[in-house]
Amino acid sequence: MELKFAGVWAKVAAMRILNSPNKAGGNGDRKSLEACSIVIFGASGDLTARKLIPALYHLFKDKLMPETFRVIGFARREKTDASWRTELRAALDQFSRTKPVDGKVWAAFAENIFYCVGDLTDKAAYAKLGKQLESFGNPALRDNLLFYLAISPSQFGEVVEQVHCSQLLKRDGPGWQRLVVEKPFGHDLASAEALNRELTRYAHERQVFRIDHYLGKETVQNILMFRFSNSIFERLWNRESVDSVQITVSEKIGVGDRGGYYEEAGALRDMVQNHMLQVLSLIAMEPPVSLEAEAVRDEKVKLLKSIRPLSVEDVAKQIVRGQYFAGAVNGEPRPGYRQEVKVKPDSNVETFVALKLLIDNWRWSGVPFYLRTGKNLPQSASEVRIQFRPTPNVLFAAQCGSHLDANALTLRLQPNEGISLHFNGKVPGTTLGVRPVRMHFSYNAEFGAYTPEAYERLLLEAIAGDATLFIRRDEVETAWKIADSIRTGWENKPLTNREFYAAGTWGPIAADDLLAQTGHEWHEPQVIN
């Protein structure tokens, strides 16, 4: 059986911001996008070729870009407009979500792509950028500027100061200017606060768009639509009905060639502090007063601030870390973490984290939220499982015993995005047999195979000036407070034997022990076809 839901969160966003006069089927309630220039600092990097240009190309192909726009790549490597366009076309052939690339569409798109040679520390290079913007002859292309900082966070301050001193970034008009920055947003609370001070030294907080690509995923966005437009579920979304919540983000891959980065970050900084706490905030937040960006982000921050603080003793009881040793994933041999390139042979860095978090507010008091993420696990999947309270131990529960499952609702974020409802059904026959069954909704089955890449949606909303799916300063800092308290609890404590796990398994024994304390167990992600 298939469940049908009334629309997706992306449609709500579209009604607010995505109106382009060229978009087929557009409606008058949508807001048209203004002409603008998109300046990519670090344009010769991997992010630009793999994500940014393919995303902008698909927006253009789908007639979602402004009618007039320019894309300028800023980097110190010597290139011409023509040579950079050739490089980008080759990358698009490899990374486009639809193949083959439409040659005519690319040719029209490429006419809007330009290159500016310059060093990030060279004041003259920014003056040259300003002249290039002036040369377009359209005041909107000079004044409406989206600066994408596809560079190291250590360079953010330099770039922000330079674009301000070059009169390209202003706090107030003419036009608008926005800064789009990639994570990591610091490596702890102190560095995050310093980074935020740098970003807002010459710009308002409302001009800063911090990207977490996880928030651009279709099903993550659908969480709000699902929760607040379906009364049958919203009435159950509280401590009276929910027994526990599990959020799993598992990865089949190991750290690979990112050993050097992982030695500095670990799973806590890489996944928990950002992606997982963002999903948790959307799952557990209170209804916002409106769908305006600040209303939504206010509730997310309130939720994060409601997470019970963790003392050193709490960390020992509620947080588990793990590290993989040699094993096999789907029959493929994998080395241990300590054998990976650029990893110390006695490294204590975590490649797996499991958490039990408690939220001290009226809705969720007493409901445990279990989060886990790790490398070299059996499958790559992201999902949220809402486990409802079991029925009283009478009638069928008493008769069927362990065969009677508690109801559960699973939101699959990736892959094969969808939503499943788990309930009990009678097995046909003359006996009173029971079996857990599942109804599921699949995005591909209901809406077709098209699902835009996260960067497409996030870039479009940044151009439109809608900050709903971007992370606010206080969100970043609140999340770092949680992560820092965990790191403090781990300080100078080596991994124990129960915290190691073989590659290809679902994590260390200690993670199972964590849930067993309250009679729970982990549920492996289920494939939704």
Q: Tell which residue, 126, 142, 121, has the closest CA to residue 70.
A: 142
What's the pLDDT score for residue 527? 60
**Annotated catalytic, 275?**
yes
Distance, CA of 252 to CA of 376 (rounded, Å): 5
> pLDDT for 456-480, tens place per residue?
989 999 999 999 889 999 999 999 9
* 128: CATH: 3.40.50.720
Q: Are residues 194 and 240 in the same domain?
A: no
What's the pLDDT score for residue 403? 56
Q: Is residue 524 part of a domain?
A: no
Distance, CA of 465 to CA of 199 (rounded, Å): 17
Q: Are 189 and 477 in contact (CB under 8 A)?
A: yes
Distance, CA of 126 to CA of 164 (rounded, Å): 10
Distance, CA of 347 to CA of 486 (rounded, Å): 18
Q: Is residue 522 part of a domain?
A: no
Q: Are residues 187 and 303 in the same domain?
A: no
Q: Could you give the count of Cα atoms lying within 13 Å of 144 in the half-sphere of its Cβ?
A: 18
* 272: CATH: 3.30.360.10
292-327 burial, b at 16+ Cβ within 10 Å, e below that, comes to ebeebbbbbbebbebbeebeeebbeebbbbbbbeeb
3-state SS, residue 420? strand
Q: What are phi and psi of 173, to 5 degrees?
A: 40, 175
CA-CA distances (angstroms) from residue 433 to 174, 403, 407, 423, 521? Answer: 71, 9, 17, 14, 24
Q: Do you find a cis peptide bond into 333, omega within 30 degrees of 0?
A: no
What's the pLDDT score for residue 163? 96
Let me know the angle formed at the C-alpha of 181 by 166 and 268, rounded to the nearest 5 degrees: 150
Q: Are 213 and 52 in contact (CB under 8 A)?
A: no
Q: Is residue 13 part of a domain?
A: no
Q: Which residues of the chain have pLDDT under 50?
A: 1-30
Q: Are residues 206 and 237 in the same domain?
A: no
Give the domain extent around 501: 215-516
Q: Are residues 167 and 282 in the same domain?
A: no
Catalytic hit among 58, 187, 213, 275: 275
Contacts of 463 (CB under 8 A, 6+ apart): 33, 36, 38, 65, 66, 146
What is the DSSP secondary structure assignment for residue 373, as one 8-state letter? E
Q: Are residues 452 and 369 in the same domain?
A: yes
Q: Are residues 202 and 249 in the same domain?
A: no
* Six-digit token string for 157: 């301050």
**Pairing outcome for strands 408-414 and 418-427:** antiparallel
Task: Look at the alpha carbons of 194, 196, 198, 202 in this order and tell me if their dihedral is positive or negative.
Answer: negative
Q: Tell which residue, 381, 365, 364, has the closest CA to residue 373.
A: 381
Q: Are residues 202 and 294 in the same domain?
A: no
> Whose structure tokens read 């990374």?
95
Rama region for 181: left / alpha / beta (φ>0; ψ in -120 to 50; rest): beta
> Whose structure tokens read 């809608």?
466
What's the pLDDT score for residue 291? 83
Q: Is residue 526 part of a domain?
A: no
Q: Is residue 20 part of a domain?
A: no
Q: Is residue 4 part of a domain?
A: no
Q: Are 371 and 392 in contact (CB under 8 A)?
A: no
Q: Is residue 60 part of a domain?
A: yes
**Pairing outcome for strands 208-211 and 177-182:** parallel
Domain boundary among 185, 211, 237: 211
The identity of residue 278, as a single letter, is Q
Q: Are residues 308 and 350 in the same domain?
A: yes
Q: Are 356 and 368 in contact (CB under 8 A)?
A: yes
Distance, CA of 140 to CA of 134 (rounded, Å): 10
Q: Are residues 227 and 359 in the same domain?
A: yes
Would you call 395 exposed, middle or buried from its count of C-beta atoms within 10 A (0-12, 13-18, 19+)?
exposed
Distance, CA of 462 to CA of 208 (rounded, Å): 10
Let me know the angle formed at the C-alpha of 440 by 238 and 227, rounded to the nearest 5 degrees: 30
What's the pLDDT score for residue 173? 76
* Six-digit token string for 208: 């800063």
Domain boundary among 211, 246, 281: 211
pTM value is 0.88
Q: Is residue 525 part of a domain?
A: no
Domain total of the chain:
2
- Count CB-CB contacts under 10 A for residue 424: 17
Q: Are residues 202 and 252 in the same domain?
A: no
Q: Are residues 156 and 274 in the same domain?
A: no
What's the pLDDT score for residue 277? 95
Distance, CA of 231 to CA of 237 (rounded, Å): 10
What's the pLDDT score for residue 247? 96
CA-CA distances (angstroms) from residue 9 to 64, 216, 482, 491? Answer: 17, 11, 28, 41
* Six-digit token string for 122: 């060279």
H and E: helices and strands count for the chain:
20, 17
Domain boundary among 156, 176, 211: 211
Q: Are residues 48 and 97 in the same domain?
A: yes
Task: Look at the alpha carbons of 145, 150, 156, 158 in this order and tell me if their dihedral is positive or negative.
Answer: negative
- Count CB-CB contacts under 10 A for residue 176: 17
Q: Tell which residue, 435, 437, 439, has the closest CA to residue 404.
A: 435
